Structure 1
């Protein structure tokens, strides 16, 4: 089949597709009976070369709940390790699987190589540049908390990593949203992502801004969002990077600047580093609800990718 529905980047989704995936995720969350056997007879490959708790479990559990079978691969299981190309691996798997969920923490180009064949949808479960499935779960969480994504106000604090990239490319597509990205010096969003997010915001009537000055950041927000300082599968060249990140910890004092804001974290959390124990366990935290929503967004993504395929 020509024209598989891959999910490699949020930027490749139309507005209708993005909004639909968020709404379908919410449907799964509020109506568990939606987990009927819509994928009965399908086989989904789950290939993770890098560590994962939430994303791997979410896609595995979602596939099973939707009636699909799964084949799981670890980092040493495929013959890429003996020199087979990614493109050839994707071609072979496409003859046997109905969809492939893959995490390598490599560049987006690697995921595009898996998707070069025309039979098997490929889902990016986190690349070096972007974590698109995380953004779907994040926006479903926002939608469940506020009743809608339009108008949501989010302050993101931390590294401009792959989760931040996906959030910036997704949230700015919704109407009248506000996203402020607060990053340590030298750890901001890639310039091309900032430009794309700003353009999306202009088109949707939303606001997008970046700053390095956390001291001056306060005001109205619906959500304060942070992520791990040390992104999975990456390392930092500066041996003193922790000193740069220290002022960007989300603690009770910082969260109090945003009265009524809920706290989000894509997890795993390093308590005492990017977030204090009191905030993560506090009444404002919805981080574990956010993690649960990865299951529902995984189901929505699998259905969408396999619809008509």
Structure 2
């Protein structure tokens, strides 16, 4: 994009690996400010045009980015899974070239591999935000950390116990939380359904720098002593299925139950939603007094505001 002859360099938010600790803190602080009503939002993105492209179903993320953009004064163009000519054989390269000449930002949920998201971000005229790919759900982690900061007043030294599949939500949480000093992430995942090795390795490297901890094992009964947050996700990530016909038997011991919550009387419960009551979580937990899952969902809009503002706060060369 050009502004008065100056080239505007856009930022992308494709992976939390791309954010420094300072960047992450800036976005989270801005998100919490939005959530508390400390910032006047109506004019922040006036004149910006945001593309919302979702190849997979979405309630929270698509609504969050659409509502956030509109509340901040931007205009949006929404694309469903069958709307772009990619479906008729146009290359992603050509599609990217066209969209980047017209849009200021593209929020994309491919739910596929990195290559498609990386191709969208191969230019610097249009910001690209990953609204979920197969490997990572970075904007979910932004909402998660916003929720934690609002509830506890901090992210440092917070202890999170994650139950369930090491999916893209767990990956994003691992890559984000381990950048905060003293934070702990304890993952209990079924055998064969843990974090990808490269994600775990990256999170361990961040933890070494920040004096955080990340510990994953596959025993749902081997639990830490003190926990602030118990977190789970749907056992089948949006747009995926499992080959093993008996997979639910492997996951059954990883349900978040009232008994588990009672073991940590001061802990809160978080869930990225949608939830399947009676599978990954008991209804009494999700709908109980310790649950902040629906506050967490609302915070997706505020973190979307912060993400778009950060990406579109450009530098001119």
TM range (shorter): over 0.9
Aligned-partner Cα distance in 2 for 1:129–1:27 = 29
- List structure 1 segments (4+ residues) > 2 angstroms apart after TM superposition: 1-4
Tell me what 2:174 maps to. 168
**Does 1:78 find its partner at 2:75?**
no
In the alignment, what sits opposite 1:211? 217
TM-score under structure 2 length normalisation: 0.96
Cα drift, residue 170 of structure 1: 0.3
Give the Cα–Cα distance (whole angstroms) in 1 for the partners of residues 197 and 9 of structure 2: 30
Q: Given the alignment, which residue of 275, 284, 287 partners 1:281?
A: 287
Q: Secondary structure at the match of 1:44?
A: strand
Within 5 Å, which residues of 2 pair with 1:1-309? 1=7, 3-31=9-37, 33-308=39-314
Report what 2:4 is aligned to: none
Residue 3 of structure 1, CA deviation: 4.2
Report the Cα distance in structure 2 between the residues aligned to 1:113 and 1:76, rounded to whole angstroms: 19
For residue 90 of structure 1, report the CA deviation from its aligned partner: 1.2
Once the two structures are superposed, what CA deviation does each residue of 1:191-234 show, in whole Å capped at 9, x if it has no partner?
11111111111110111101111112142111000000010011
- For residues 8 and 95 of structure 2, what CA distance do their matches in structure 1 show? 18
For the residue of structure 2 that corresponds to 1:256, the secondary structure is helix
**Alignment root-mean-square deviation, CA:** 1.1
In 1: Cα distance, 2:250 partner to 2:210 partner: 34
Contact 2:11 2:124 in 1 (8 A): no
User: Given that residues 10 and 314 in structure 2 are in contact (C-alpha distance below 8 angstroms), is that contact kept between their aligned partners in structure 1?
Assistant: no
* Cα 1:114–1:214 shift into 2, 3 Å: same
Q: How many residue pairs align between the two structures? A: 309
Matches of 2:91 and 2:14, distance apart in 1 = 19
1:107-154 C-alpha deviation (Å, 9 max, x unpaired): 122101011122000000000000000000000000001101111110
Conserved? CA contact 1:218–1:257, under 8 Å: no
Name whichever of 33-42 and 61-70 sits farther off. 33-42
CA distance in 2, matches of 1:52, 1:131: 13
Q: What SS does the corresponding residue of 1:34 show, helix, strand or coil? A: coil
Q: Which runs of 5+ in 1 are unaligned?
A: none
TM-score by length of 1: 0.98
The separation in 2 between residues aligned to 1:294 and 1:304, in whole angstroms, is 15
Distance, in Å, in 1 between the alignment partners of 2:121 and 2:290 is: 40
Provide the rounded CA distance (Å) in 2 between the counterparts of 1:137 and 1:287: 11
Q: Runs of 5+ in structure 2 lacking a partner?
A: 1-6
Q: How much does 1:34 deviate?
A: 2.6
